[in-house]
Amino acid sequence: MKVVALVSGGLDSTVMLWKLRSEGHSIVPLTLLTFRRNPREIEAAKKISVVASGREPIVYDVSFLRELFDYPQHIKERVFQQFPTLPNIVIPYRNIIFYSVAAYVACLEEADAIAGGHTREDVERIPDVGKEFFTELENILNKYTPFHRIKILTPVAGLMKAEIIRLGIELGAPLQETWSCWSVFEKHCGKCPGCVSRREVFKSVGLEDRTEYLEG
Ligand SMILES: [Zn+2]
């Protein structure tokens, strides 16, 4: 199949790309520039896309899309009172928007499917990444745009983060090229929440973390 894959430059979407490759799909990488998106992530997404698919990713500017973290205080307070476990980096309506853009690109590229790299942890804590959501969205996309058939694939959604790392290493994915740091230094800072969780996940599977950190 020809698959439009949403890539972020992070670990999960990179392993998803290598899983799609290992299944023999041809890949059209797509990355979306949201508000305050870390430029290091985009660089990583570009580098990884070229290796995975032989082409630069399609890059669309959607920088009007903010995470809840960047919403006005009174809105954030209301949302987190109601949904205390929701991560504040969630973009409202994110996946309806992202997957609709991916479907649009799929029509343009005559692709059969669109794909994203969600983990099982995501499925457990974020409402718009579950199986039910994607089944409904796939139905809506196909029903109301009847001249293009589309499938939604979430190849790593059944896996926990640690299992994704293991699969990535098994498939030879260039995990050291992915970007998890919240800063914009040349190398991963080693201290921010993104780096801390990256280090922990490699440690938890007992595998070598080849990331270069500024602080050891
Ligand atoms: Zn960092």
Q: Is residue 175 part of a domain?
A: no
Is residue 34 domain-shared with residue 58, that is, in the same domain?
Answer: yes
Q: Report pLDDT for 200.
A: 93
Q: Is residue 88 part of a domain?
A: yes
Is residue 101 domain-shared with residue 147, that is, in the same domain?
Answer: yes
37 CA from centroid of ligand 1 (Å): 14
- Segments of 34-95 assigned E as strands: 58-61
Give buried/exposed letters for 52-77 (b at 16+ CB in 10 A, else e): bbeeebbeeeeeebebbeebeeeeee
Alpha-carbon span 155 to 27, nearest angstrom:
13
193 CA from centroid of ligand 1 (Å): 7
pTM above 0.85, yes or no: yes
pLDDT tens-place values along the chain, 216 residues long: 999 999 999 999 999 999 999 999 999 999 999 999 999 999 999 999 999 999 999 999 999 999 999 999 999 999 999 988 888 889 999 999 999 999 999 999 999 999 999 999 888 888 899 999 999 999 999 999 999 999 999 999 999 999 999 999 999 999 999 999 999 999 999 999 999 999 999 999 888 888 999 977
Is residue 81 domain-shared with residue 114, that is, in the same domain?
Answer: yes
Is residue 98 domain-shared with residue 197, that is, in the same domain?
Answer: no
Range of the domain at 21: 2-167
Is residue 107 domain-shared with residue 17, that is, in the same domain?
Answer: yes
Q: Based on the structure, what is the number of domains in the chain?
A: 2
10 CA from centroid of ligand 1 (Å): 13
Main-chain dihedrals φ then ψ at residue 155, nearest 5 degrees: -65, -25
